[in-house]
Structure 1
Amino acid sequence: MRNLPNLLTLCRFLLIPLYILVFEAGYMRTAFLVLLVAGLTDVLDGYIARSRNLVTPLGSMLDPLADKSMMITVLLSLVYSGMISLEAAIAMFVREAGMIIGSAIFHFRGKQTVPANAMGKLTTVLYYVAIMLIIFELPLAELYLWLVIAVSFLTSIIYIVQFYKLNKREFERK
């Protein structure tokens, strides 16, 4: 935890309760701003880690966990407030929880994990746009959200294929 990228990741975890407090108080735009700050710290920590060769195994595991935790928090707040349908929330939750649980299981079993890639980053940006459309109550927001959910499942399939290729020799030995 002693490098800047990991500290920024820790800050993202700390932004989760702040998001909840602001959202619960009814300050939707401020809640979205907190979410944007979390997204910016994600971009910044990744850039610093790669450009300064500060990538660590801990950071590689905590970074996506912080992202997924924030997304699940936002998801729960949106469904709780009735801003998105329960079906959309379940689809998003299944995907996010599956990614967290799968990554954790394989990480602790010593398997190589797939680092974030362009598709994953694109999916995150698309989710941020969907959340913005929903919070600002813009037309077709939930339809757009469903399109992003479809893209996110496609991204998950790509990650699974990459994970298998990365660990293929280990799977073939068993």
Structure 2
Amino acid sequence: MTPGAPVQLVDRLFRTDEWRTVPNAITALRLLLLPVFVVLIVGERYWSSMVVIAIVFLTDFVDGFVARRTNTTSELGAWLDPVADRLTVIVVVLAFWLGGLLPGVVFLLILLPDIVLSLVALIVFGGASFPVTWVGKIRTALIFVGLLMLLVGRAVIAQWRDADDQLDVLGQLLVVVSSFVLLLGLVGHYVAAVLYGRDLARRWRARRGGAAA
């Protein structure tokens, strides 16, 4: 990585006014809501945190939809959207771990491939963008749905553990089902990581081939 690679990346993404778009503002809103979600989860305010994570989940699809419908795509948006997807998943899972809702191993399993691939992209390519794929979108949806189910289940258990046996059973069932959904999301996470790794390898071969020519 050249010393000025991060600076070059920032300059490329912000070199024109095209980054000032509604889709990018929606993506920024998603990122700004993440620390709010962490505080709510750690404070065991599960119902409020559900509203926040639902908004975060919706913005993941709304920003791209608005960009396509209004033809306001930008280089920053193309780079930021998949990065925001990964950062959102990491921070949300971190919040669940800090709140005692998920084991630390799940957080590490999600964090590891993104750290490795991000470092490779930054060091070798000066910040290559994450490709937006259907596998990645499905992965994100599965993880969010699984986490939302887990959150609802924990909220129901916490509120009605001693008051309503049927609701308590429903909460337990949601927690169990959420585990399977999260497992599918975790598999998708590694499939998406492999696809991105292949994309980086292809870029590296093309780069070496161009240099040799």
Consecutive unaligned residues of structure 2, counting only runs of 5 or more, are 1-18, 154-173
Q: Deviations over 1:67-87 (max 9, x none)?
A: 222222211111122211121
Q: Where does 1:37-116 land on structure 2 (aligned, <5 Å)?
A: 37-105=55-123, 108=126, 111=128, 113-116=129-132
Structure 1 length normalisation: TM-score? 0.84
What is the CA-CA distance between 1:26 and the residue it aligns to? 1.6
Aligned length: 172
CA contact (8 A) 2:89 2:140 kept: no
CA contact (8 A) 2:96 2:102 kept: yes
Structure 2: which amino acid aligns with 1:120?
A: G
Larger Cα Rg: Structure 1 or Structure 2?
2
Consecutive unaligned residues of structure 1, counting only runs of 5 or more, are none
Match of 1:136 in 2: 152
Match of 2:197 in 1: 160
Q: Deviations over 1:84-105 (max 9, x none)?
A: 1121111011133334444444
What is the CA-CA distance between 1:49 and the residue it aligns to? 1.6
Structure 2 length normalisation: TM-score? 0.70
Q: Deviations over 1:25-51 (max 9, x none)?
A: 322132122112112112111112223
Distance 1:114 1:67, change over 3 A: closer
User: What is the aligned-residue RMSD (CA, Å)?
Assistant: 2.3
Percent identical pairs in the alignment equals 23
CA contact (8 A) 2:34 2:88 kept: yes
Of 174, 177, 182, the match for 1:145? 182
- Describe the SS at the equivalent of 1:159: helix
CA contact (8 A) 1:114 1:162 kept: no
- Describe the SS at the equivalent of 1:150: helix
CA contact (8 A) 1:114 1:163 kept: no
Match of 1:30 in 2: 48
CA contact (8 A) 2:30 2:59 kept: yes
- Describe the SS at the equivalent of 1:136: helix
- Describe the SS at the equivalent of 2:182: helix
Match of 1:13 in 2: 31
1:172 is the counterpart of 2:190: no
Distance 1:165 1:125, change over 3 A: same
